[in-house]
C-alpha cells in the first residue's frame, strides 16, 4: 500500500508528529534516502524548511506529499520511522494501517460464450466484518450473490454484459475495486438461442467492407442480418457508438480525416446480440477542388437526380476543358489565442514541461499575428474567468485557438481540463469541459476554432456523470488536435534545464507552415509516428470538420466596421500593460532604476540597477521586499544577480539588460490573484568608505495592477448554477461585456488611442498585425533618458528543433502527465 492511500486527516496528524527538529521530518528525509528514488535534493529540503514561513505550512506534510508522488509504500515508511526511533508515529501508523481496507484480489474482465459461466472475484484484507457490494454500472446487484466476494453469472446471457465494480465496506469506510467488463461472445457472427421454439437465432449475412476514400467523398457501410424478432443496428467508430445512426446502412456524405478509423456494427434483438466484422476506413487527400455543387431538385422528373458537379451554364465536357479556378485565399477578421499551462498541482503530480511549451507556442503564434494570452498555474475560478475573457475577444470571422497543457481526462467523448486546485478524486464538477467552451465559441460565429489539448485522455474512474454539452452547430470550422489517443497518456521529455512535451517538440517545427490546419497537424502526427520512443505509447489524434483551406498563417483583414476590432485590441492591450520604468532618488544621493519585463501574461520580472552613487559609497544594492500575500514570490530566489538564479528559465539576461550594468532580479508569479494595486518596498543597502556598518533606506513603491491582474480573474464571472452545470461551463453565459469592458464603456474608439499613449504600451490599435507582434512579445519598459530601447526578448533555452530527433530521446527522459 502506498502513502497515497492514507486519508488527509491521517497525513495531517503524522505531519504534526514530524514537525520538530529532534526527531522529525529532516531525520526521516535522511532515512528514506537509503533508496535512491526517495532521496531529496538540497533544493527540496530547503523548500520544506521554508514552509514554516506560511501560517498553514508544514515541512512534514510537504515531505510526505513528495514521498506519495514517488509511490513510497507504507511498509518502507514504517521501516524508516522505526529507524529514527519515532515511536509515537510508528504506533499511530501501525494502528491506522490495521484498520485500512486493502483490496488484494481485483475483479478481472472476462468473456464467455452464451450459456457459459463467469465468476468475478474481489477480496480484501483489513479489520473484521468486511462486507461486499456489487454493481453493474450504477445499479446495485441485490440478489444473494451481490453481497459475496464472488459474483457468479450462470448461464451467461446478453443481459449480463456490462461493466462491474465491487464496493468493500467496513463501517463508514469503504473502497472501490477496479472496473471489470463482462462480454457474451457469439460464435461465427451468429447468436445461439436461449428460448427454443419461440424464436430463431441471429446471423449476420452482410458484413461491412474496408474502404479507402478521399476527403469530400461519400462513405457507405452496410450490414445486414437474419433474425427473429427483427434485428436492430448500432454502429461504432473506434469503439465509440454513433448515436445518430440506427439503421443497417451507415452513410457519411462528406468525409474528413476525422472519419478515418475502424467501424463495426452491433446487431441485436430482444434475445440475441452479434457483432459484424471490423471495417477499416482510410481517408486520402481530397480529390475535389473548388467545385460548385448544385443540389438536384427532387421534383417529379428529378426524383433520383444525383448531386450535380458542374458549374451553372456548363456541361460536363465544358467543365473538363475549363477547370475551376484555384482555391480562394481565406482571411481572418482577427486572431486570438488563450494558452494555459498547469504545472504546480496541489494534490497531484507536478509537471515540468508546460512552462516551456506555453512559452514556445506563444512566440510562434505571435509570429503569425495572434493576440496571445499565456497563463501558468490557474485554479478553477481563474480558468473559468480566463476562458470568459477569451470568449469576449471573439467575433464573427475571428480565428480562435485554445491550448492547454496539464492534467486532463476524457469521459464519454468529452474532454476535461484539470485546474491546479482540483481535489485528489476530482470529477467534472472540478474541471472545465472543452466541448462546452467550443459551443460558446460557435455562438460568436468564429471563422476557425482550433483546440490543442496536450494532456492525458485516460478515463476518470471517479467520474460517472455524463455531462450534457451544448448542441454544436454545423459550422465546418472545428479542428481538435489531441496530443495522444483515447485512453492513453501524454508524455514529457525531461531535461536538466527546461523540459518539453512530446507534442510541442514536434508541433513547433510545423505550426508556422502555410498549410491547411489539418494538413499541418497530419504532418506532425507523421513526425511523431517516426519517433521510436513514442511509437505504441503516444500518437497525435486529429478530429476535424474543417471544409475550407484555412491556415493559422492566413492574413487578418479587418472589416470596414472596426469598432469591435478596436475594442478587442483595447481589451487585449490592457491585460498586457507593464508598469513604466522609473527612477528613485534616495537621500544618500543614490539613483536606482526600477524596470519590468513580462515572462507570461501572469508572470513578471522586476529588476533594479544602480544608475548613480556618490564616490564615498563603496557598495550599494537595491533589494525588493514586503510583497503582498496575494501573489507568489520565492523569497529564496528574490533579488538575484541573474535571471536563472531568480527562477526564470525563459528570459535571457543579455537581451533584457546591458550585461555591464549589475542588476538584481525578482520574479513574481500568480499576478491573476492580485486583488489590489501592487505595492512593495525597495530597500537600499549601502556602505560608506569610512564606516563598517551597513546603512539602509526604505521606499514604498506602488506600480498599479500589471499585466493580467487588471482582469480580476479571481472574481466569478456569472452566478454559478448547479454543480454539474458549473463544471460543464453552463455558467459561461458570457455577457456582452466583462468587468473590464464595463470599466471602459465610456471610452470611445478615438479615446482608445489616447489610452495607449498614456500607458506607454508599445502596441497600436490601428494596425492589428503590428499590435500583435509588438505588444505580445515579452518586453521590458525602460527609461529612455538613460538607455536605448531594448531588443525584443528571444525565446528560450528549451529543447531545440534538432533535439526532436528520436535518437536524442532516452526512455529514462520520458515521463507521463498522469491523467488522474
Are 578 and 604 spatial neighbours (Cβ–Cβ below 8 Å)? Answer: yes
**3 φ, ψ to 5°?**
-60, -30
Q: What is the DSSP letter of 252?
A: E
Q: What is the DSSP letter of 472?
A: P
Q: Which three cell numbers stand for residue 785?
A: 533618458
Q: What are the start-end ranges of the E strands in 217-328?
A: 219-222, 224-227, 232-237, 240-241, 249-252, 261-268, 273-275, 279-284
Q: Which three cell numbers stand for residue 161?
A: 454484459
Are 734 and 333 spatial neighbours (Cβ–Cβ below 8 Å)? Answer: no
Q: What are the start-end ranges of the E strands in 626-731?
A: 663-668, 679-688, 695-702
Alpha-carbon distance of 458 to 410, in angstroms, equals 6
Active site residues: 407, 456
Are 63 and 40 spatial neighbours (Cβ–Cβ below 8 Å)? Answer: yes
Taking residue 276's Cβ as centre, other Cβ atoms within 10 Å add up to 23
CA proximity to 779, closest of 583, 579, 626 = 579
637 to 359, 393, 535, 670, 797: CA distances (angstroms): 21, 36, 40, 16, 19
The CA radius of gyration of the chain, in Å to the nearest whole number, is 31
Q: Which three cell numbers stand for residue 546?
A: 474543417
DSSP letters spanning 147-181: GSSEEEE-S--GGG-EEEEEEEEETTEEEE---EE
Rounded to 10°, the helix 768-776/354-367 angle is 150
Are 776 and 768 spatial neighbours (Cβ–Cβ below 8 Å)? Answer: no
Q: Name residue, grid cell 472475484.
A: 121
CA proximity to 188, closest of 199, 202, 200 = 202
For the chain, the farthest-separated pair of C-alpha atoms sits apart, in whole angstroms, at 114
Amino acid at each position: 500500500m502506498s502513502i497515497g492511500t492514507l486519508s488527509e486527516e491521517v497525513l495531517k496528524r503524522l505531519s504534526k508528529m514530524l514537525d520538530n527538529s529532534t526527531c522529525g521530518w529532516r531525520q526521516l528525509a535522511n532515512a528514506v534516502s537509503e533508496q535512491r528514488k526517495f532521496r531529496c535534493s538540497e533544493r527540496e529540503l530547503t523548500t520544506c524548511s521554508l514552509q514554516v514561513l506560511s501560517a498553514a505550512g508544514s515541512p512534514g506534510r510537504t515531505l510526505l506529499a513528495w514521498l506519495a508522488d514517488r509511490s513510497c509504500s507504507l511498509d518502507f515508511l514504517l521501516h524508516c520511522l522505526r529507524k529514527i526511533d519515532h515511536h509515537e508515529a510508528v504506533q499511530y501508523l501501525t494502528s491506522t494501517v490495521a484498520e485500512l481496507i486493502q483490496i488484494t484480489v481485483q475483479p478481472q474482465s472476462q468473456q464467455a460464450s452464451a450459456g457459459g459461466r463467469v465468476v468475478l472475484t474481489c477480496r480484501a484484507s483489513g479489520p473484521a466484518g468486511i462486507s461486499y457490494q456489487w454493481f453493474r454500472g450504477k445499479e446495485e446487484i441485490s440478489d444473494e450473490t451481490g453481497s459475496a466476494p464472488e459474483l457468479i453469472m450462470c448461464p451467461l446471457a446478453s443481459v449480463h454484459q456490462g461493466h462491474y465494480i465491487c464496493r468493500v465496506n467496513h463501517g463508514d469506510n469503504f473502497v472501490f475495486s477496479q472496473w471489470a467488463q463482462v462480454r457474451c461472445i457469439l460464435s461465427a457472427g451468429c447468436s445461439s438461442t436461449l428460448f427454443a421454439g419461440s424464436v430463431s437465432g441471429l446471423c449476420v449475412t452482410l458484413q461491412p467492407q474496408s474502404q479507402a476514400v478521399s476527403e469530400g467523398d461519400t462513405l457507405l457501410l452496410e450490414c445486414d442480418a437474419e433474425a427473429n424478432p427483427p434485428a436492430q443496428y448500432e454502429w461504432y467508430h473506434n469503439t465509440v457508438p454513433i448515436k445518430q445512426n440506427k439503421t443497417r446502412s451507415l452513410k457519411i456524405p462528406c468525409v474528413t480525416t476525422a472519419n478515418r478509423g475502424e467501424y463495426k456494427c452491433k446487431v441485436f434483438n430482444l434475445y440475441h446480440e452479434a457483432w459484424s466484422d471490423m471495417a477499416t476506413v482510410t481517408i486520402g487527400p481530397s480529390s475535389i477542388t473548388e467545385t460548385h455543387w448544385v443540389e438536384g431538385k427532387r421534383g417529379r422528373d428529378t426524383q433520383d437526380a444525383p448531386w450535380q458537379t458542374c458549374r451553372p451554364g456548363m456541361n460536363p465536357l465544358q467543365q473538363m476543358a475549363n477547370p475551376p479556378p484555384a482555391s480562394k485565399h481565406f482571411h481572418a477578421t482577427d486572431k486570438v489565442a488563450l494558452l494555459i499551462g498547469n504545472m504546480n498541482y496541489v494534490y497531484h503530480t507536478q509537471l515540468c514541461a508546460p512552462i516551456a511549451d506555453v512559452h514556445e507556442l506563444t512566440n510562434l503564434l505571435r509570429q503569425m499575428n495572434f493576440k496571445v494570452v499565456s497563463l501558468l498555474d490557474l485554479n478553477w475560478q481563474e480558468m473559468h474567468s480566463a476562458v470568459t475573457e477569451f470568449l469576449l475577444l471573439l467575433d464573427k470571422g475571428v480565428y480562435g485557438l485554445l491550448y492547454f497543457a496539464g492534467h486532463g481526462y476524457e469521459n464519454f467523448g468529452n474532454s476535461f481540463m484539470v485546474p491546479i486546485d482540483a481535489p485528489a478524486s476530482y470529477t467534472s464538477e472540478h474541471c472545465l469541459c472543452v466541448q462546452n467552451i467550443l459551443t460558446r465559441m460557435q455562438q460568436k460565429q468564429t471563422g476557425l476554432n482550433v483546440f490543442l489539448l496536450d494532456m492525458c485522455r485516460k478515463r476518470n474512474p471517479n467520474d460517472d456523470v455524463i455531462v450534457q454539452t451544448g448542441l454544436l452547430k454545423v459550422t465546418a470550422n472545428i479542428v481538435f488536435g489531441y496530443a495522444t489517443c483515447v485512453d492513453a497518456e501524454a508524455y514529457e521529455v525531461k531535461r536538466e534545464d527546461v523540459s518539453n512535451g512530446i507534442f510541442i517538440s514536434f508541433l513547433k517545427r510545423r505550426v508556422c507552415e502555410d498549410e491547411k490546419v489539418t494538413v499541418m497537424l497530419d504532418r506532425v502526427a507523421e513526425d511523431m509516428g517516426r519517433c521510436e520512443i513514442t511509437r505504441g505509447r503516444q500518437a497525435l489524434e486529429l478530429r476535424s470538420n474543417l471544409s475550407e483551406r484555412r491556415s493559422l498563417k492566413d492574413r487578418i483583414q479587418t472589416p470596414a466596421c472596426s469598432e469591435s476590432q478596436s475594442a478587442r485590441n483595447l481589451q487585449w492591450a490592457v491585460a498586457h500593460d507593464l508598469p513604466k520604468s522609473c527612477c528613485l532618488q534616495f537621500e544618500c544621493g543614490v539613483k536606482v532604476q526600477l524596470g519590468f519585463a513580462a515572462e507570461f501574461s501572469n508572470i513578471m520580472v522586476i529588476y533594479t540597477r544602480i544608475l548613480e552613487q556618490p564616490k564615498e559609497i563603496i557598495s550599494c544594492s537595491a533589494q525588493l521586499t514586503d510583497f503582498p500575500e496575494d501573489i507568489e514570490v520565492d523569497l529564496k530566489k528574490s533579488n538575484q544577480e541573474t535571471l536563472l538564479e531568480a527562477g526564470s528559465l525563459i528570459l535571457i539576461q543579455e537581451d533584457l539588460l546591458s550585461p555591464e550594468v549589475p542588476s538584481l532580479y525578482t520574479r513574481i508569479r500568480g499576478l491573476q490573484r492580485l486583488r489590489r494595486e501592487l505595492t512593495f518596498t525597495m530597500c537600499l543597502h549601502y556602505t560608506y568608505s569610512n564606516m563598517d556598518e551597513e546603512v539602509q533606506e526604505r521606499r514604498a513603491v506602488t506600480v498599479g495592477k500589471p499585466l493580467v491582474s487588471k482582469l480580476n480573474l479571481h472574481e466569478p464571472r456569472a452566478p454559478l448554477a448547479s454543480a454539474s452545470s458549473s463544471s460543464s461551463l453552463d455558467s459561461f453565459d458570457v455577457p456582452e461585456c466583462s468587468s473590464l469592458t464595463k470599466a471602459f464603456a465610456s471610452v470611445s474608439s478615438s479615446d482608445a488611442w489616447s489610452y495607449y499613449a498614456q500607458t506607454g504600451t508599445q502596441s497600436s490599435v490601428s494596425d492589428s498585425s503590428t499590435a500583435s507582434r509588438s505588444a505580445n512579445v515579452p518586453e521590458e519598459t525602460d527609461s529612455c533618458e538613460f538607455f536605448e530601447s531594448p531588443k525584443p526578448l528571444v525565446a528560450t533555452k528549451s529543447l531545440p528543433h534538432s533535439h526532436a530527433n528520436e535518437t536524442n530521446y532516452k526512455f529514462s527522459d520520458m515521463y507521463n502527465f498522469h491523467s488522474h
